[in-house]
Amino acid sequence: MSTRTILTWPDARLSMVCEPVSEITDDIQVLAADMLETMYEAPGRGLAAPQVGAMLRIFVMDATWKEGTADPMVCINPKITSQSETISTGPEGCLSIPGVEAEVSRPESVHMVWTDLSGATREADLTGFPALCAQHELDHLDGIVTLDRVDATQRADILATYNGQS
For residue 3, is it within any domain? no
Per-residue model confidence (pLDDT) at position 163: 67
Catalytic residue among 23, 85, 101, 137: 137
Domain total for the chain?
Answer: 1
Look at residue 96 and tell me if it is in a domain. yes
pLDDT in tens, 84-140: 999 999 999 999 999 889 999 999 999 999 999 999 999 999 999 999 999 999 999
How confident is the model at residue 161, as a pLDDT?
81
- Give the pLDDT band of residue 159 (cuts 50, 70, 90): confident
Q: Which residues pair with 75 in a beta bridge?
A: 59
In a domain, 7, yes or no: no
User: Is the previous residue joined to 91 through a cis bond, with omega within 30 degrees of 0?
Assistant: no
Which tops the pLDDT comparison, 1 or 139?
Answer: 139
Q: Residues 147, 140: contact at Cβ < 8 Å?
A: no
Q: If DSSP codes are grouped into helix, strand and coil, which group holds residue 48?
A: strand
Sheet strands (E) in the chain: 46-48, 58-61, 73-83, 87-93, 101-107, 109-115, 121-127
Q: Flag whether the pTM goes above 0.85.
A: yes
Q: Check which CATH number belongs to the domain holding 68 and give it.
A: 3.90.45.10
Average pLDDT rounded to a whole number, residues 17-23: 98
Residue 6 lies in a domain: no
Q: Residue 166: what pLDDT?
A: 41
Q: In terms of residue numbers, what domain contains 62?
A: 12-163
Residue 37 lies in a domain: yes
Give residue-wise pLDDT tens across range 29-65: 999 999 999 999 999 999 999 999 999 999 999 998 8
Residue 52 CB-half CA count within 13 A: 25
19: annotated active-site residue: no
Does 147 reside within a domain?
Answer: yes
